[in-house]
Amino acid sequence: PDLAPADVDSILSALASAHAKGIVHRDLKPENVFLAEYGGTTTVKLLDFGVSKFRHEAGTLFETTQEGLPVGTPAYMAPEQWMGRRDIDHRADLFAVGVMLFEMLTGGFPYEGASQGELFLEIVRGSEAPPLPSSIAPGVPRAIDVVVLRALRREREERFQSAREFLDALRPFGA
């Protein structure tokens, strides 16, 4: 089955577990979310932690990629990833979930560009917020717009600060 908005709660729950262990995925996208069916129940599995960032017990970071290079899939990368910042944290994953939720609701991406360079400029320095999901898909409740746009804020301090906080914002909608 394809990902649906109802799966976002499971994605966020899985992320909350990973983040609690000091793991930042850094490449969340639909292709890295697997829906496994067991006896009529669908379970979400997060895959491909190949570019993840891990925090050791001593608080030091272990990265699987070269410092200063952007890591991830362009359409799902948070602004700080595009900039190649060393201090990427769990909020980059929450941005990616926001992109996936926007895509599930509307069938399109919140930020677009004709080239990778244009996409970079739009995500990092765009002058406008993404369109409201309800303006693209009229069946989407306007209250969901607020949740999605918060997840997609360019400044990570303005986004949800944890997967649990994001999940709590979705609870009134059945998450």
Q: How many helices (H) and strands (E) does the chain have?
A: 7, 5
SS3 26: coil
> How far apart, in Å, are the Cα atoms of 54 and each of 16, 62, 170?
14, 5, 27
Catalytic residue among 2, 7, 9, 27, which? 27
Q: Is 2 a catalytic residue?
A: no
Answer whether 99's CB lies under 8 Å from 123's CB.
Answer: no
Residue with structure tokens 């979930």? 97
Residue 136 to residue 157: CA distance in whole angstroms? 27
Residues annotated as catalytic are 27
